Structure formats: structure tokens, C-alpha cells
Amino acid sequence: MVLICDAMTKLKQMMFIFLFCFIHLYFHVQFFVSLKTSLLKWRPDYDNAAEEYNKAATCFRNAKSLDQCRDCLMKSSDCHRQNRALFHAAKCLDQAILICKEMNNLGDIRKLAERSCNLYQQHGSPESGATVLDKAAKILEQTHPEDALQLYKQAVDVVTIEDSTRQGAEYASKVARIMVKLGMYDQAADAIRREIGLHQQVGSDGAIGRLAVALVLVQLARGDYVAAEKAFKEWGNCCDAAEVQTLESLLQAYDDEDPELAQRALSSPFIRHMDVEYARLARDLPLPKGVSIAPKANVIENAAASYVSPNSGASGDTAAKPSAGPAGDDEDEGGLC
């Protein structure tokens, strides 16, 4: 039985290898026929070649040969681009991104996403391009946050060109949060201001109030109390009553160097329930150090009198005598007068 099982396993492996080689050879023949030119065929048949490459990619994916599947998708995208079918070319690159994710090859995802977005924009579908950038950035956000940050920035630019303000505000929010996560507080403050500007165009005062709290926290993380107070004065009218009270207490604590009041303000419920990045920023925010007061000197009651040297007393009497001399002279002079 063991020999039969081994023979069946080897037979299956041989059949799989034979089928794989047959598919590889068949599609290579089809590619050659489609792209070959002749006396009566002056231009390669890119449409047919792209279709054959797609079929080959599907077969290679089912056979778990992801490297060749990705290569076929890339070649299919090139054929569609040569045929001026830009939407289909971008779609192939979009599928290649998913294959790279399965391969755990995250280094090529940003480049593929940017190329796909560019093709979508040339076709006249910028929303699809922004969606590709967003999808690729979500894949890279945990392991490659710098690449995800650049993709989100590009997505903001793409949608704002098309006057999709609400979508742009969503991508700008992701940009600001990643910057806070990476400790890029200067750039995060600028990103939050840009997000506030986008929400102003939509008229979302509630979102502006929450962003005002985030901006104050970022400015305090930068160590710039003046900028934090300026941000509160500029956008505090959009905050709720609880947010206004908490921010006033927080700024007053930093102004008075009161760490206990600052800790109570940072522990308020709405700050703890903000986005994860801002909640962590509030948790790790350096508190004011407080004003150090010099300790008072201890006074001992019923202590003995200070020791006085006899020499110091004699010298004191000697010093006192000359001072009495002029007074006696004045009396004598007065008496004579």
C-alpha cells in the first residue's frame, strides 16, 4: 500500500509538471502568433495578446505560480497600453498589486499603484485611481508607513483636483494620523490645517472642532504653547462645550506649570475616545514640570543663645568709646558757650 501511495503521488506530480509545461508552451505560442508581424500583418495584435496573457495569469494563479502570474499581468498591461486601452491596462496593474500582497512582496506595491493611478487619470477615471492608491496604502500602512503616507498624499491631490472635497478630507485625515504616528509633528500640524480647510468647504463644524483638539495636542507635542493657544482661539468656536472646557483647562495647566491639572484634562473621555493616534499622543504628551519652591528653614524653639566671643565684646566696647568722645566735646563746647 505504501508503494502504491508513493507511486500515485509521483504520478500526480508528474501530471502537474506536464500540465504546467503544456500551459506555458501553449501561451508562449499564442503570444508569439499575436505579436508577430508579416507582409500582410503590419501591426501586432495587442488586443489578442493581452487576452492571452490574462488567461495565462489565471492559469498560473490557480497553479500557485504567483511570480509568473504577476509577470503575465504586467505584460497584459503593456499590451493594453500599446492598444490605447488605458483602463484595462490600469486594471491589470491593480490585480498585480493583489498578487504582490499574496507573495508578501510589498516593495513593488507603491510603484504599481502609482502607475495604475496614472493610467486611470489618463483614461479620465481619477476616482478609480484614488481608490487604487487607497487600497495599496492600506496594505502598506502597518509595515511600510512611509510609502503609505506618500500614497495617501497623492490620493489627496487626485481627488481635490476633481473637487471631491469630502473624499479629500478623508485621505487628508489619514495623512495627518500617519504623520503623528511617525512623530512628524511639524508636518502633521500643516496636514491638520489642510484637513480643516477641506471640512470648511463642506461645512462640517463638528469635524473642525475635533480637529481643533487634535491640532492643540500636536502643537503641545511640538513644545509650542503659543501656537497651541493660537489654534484654540482660531478654531475653538467650532468645539462643543465639553471640548472648550477641557482645552481651557489644558492650556491653563501648561501656562501655570500645573502637571496635575494637565493630567486631568488629558484624561477626559472625549480625548481618550479620539482616533488611536491622537489618543496615544495625549497619553504620551510630556506634562509641565511645575514650579519648584525652595524649602523653608527649620526653626528650633527654646534654643540656647548664640555664643559670643569675649574678644568680640571687648573690641565692641573699645569701638564704642571713641564714638562717645565727640559727644562729650560737644557738651563741653556747649557749656562754654
Query: What is the residue-level pLDDT of the chain in tens, covering all 337 positions?
Result: 555 655 566 555 555 555 555 555 455 555 454 555 654 455 667 788 888 888 888 888 888 888 989 998 998 999 899 888 999 999 999 999 999 999 998 989 999 999 999 999 999 999 999 999 999 999 999 999 999 999 999 999 999 888 788 899 999 999 999 999 999 999 999 999 999 999 988 888 888 988 999 999 999 999 888 999 999 998 888 888 888 888 999 999 888 888 888 898 888 888 888 889 999 999 988 888 765 444 554 555 555 555 455 665 544 444 444 444 444 444 444 444 3
Number of H-type helices and E-type strands within the chain: 16, 0
Question: Cα(3)–Cα(110) distance, rounded to whole angstroms?
Answer: 50
Q: Can you give the CATH number for the domain in which 264 is found?
A: 1.25.40.10
pLDDT at 139: 94
Position 101 in a domain: no
Residue 200 lies in a domain: yes
Spatial contact of 113 and 136, defined as CB atoms under 8 Å apart: yes
pLDDT reported for residue 327: 46
Residue 182 neighbours by CB under 8 Å, 6+ apart: 145, 146, 149
- The residue type found at 30 is Q
Please report whether residue 317 resides in a domain.
no
Q: Could you tell me if 253 and 225 are in contact, meaning their C-beta atoms sit under 8 angstroms apart? A: no
Distance from the first to the final alpha carbon of the chain:
152
pLDDT, residue 65, reads: 85
Alpha-carbon span 75 to 104, nearest angstrom: 21
Contact (Cβ atoms closer than 8 angstroms) between residue 46 and residue 83: yes
Residue 270 in any domain: the answer is: yes
Q: Side-chain half-sphere of 132: how many Cα atoms within 13 Å?
A: 29
- Cα–Cα distance for residue pair 267/10, rounded to 1 Å: 65
Q: What is the pLDDT of residue 256?
A: 87
Within-domain flag for 124: no
pLDDT of residue 289: 78
Q: How many domains does the chain have?
A: 1
- In this prediction, residue 206 carries a pLDDT of 83
What 135-140 contacts at long range (C-beta under 8 Å, 24+ apart), as own/partner pairs, is 135/94, 135/97, 136/97, 136/109, 136/110, 136/112, 137/113, 137/174, 139/97, 139/101, 139/106, 139/109, 140/106, 140/109, 140/110
The CA-CA-CA angle for residues 101, 107, 108, to 5°, reads 75
Provide the domain limits for residue 199.
Answer: 181-289
Residue 264 domain-assigned (yes or no): yes
Residue among 226, 156, 207, 214 at smallest CA distance from 189? 214
| Gap between the Cα atoms of 214 and 277, Å rounded | 10
Q: Is residue 201 part of a domain?
A: yes
CA distances in angstroms from 167 to 134, 198, 265, listed in the order given: 11, 9, 32
Query: Is residue 51 in some structural domain?
Result: no
Query: What cell was used for 240?
Result: 462643543
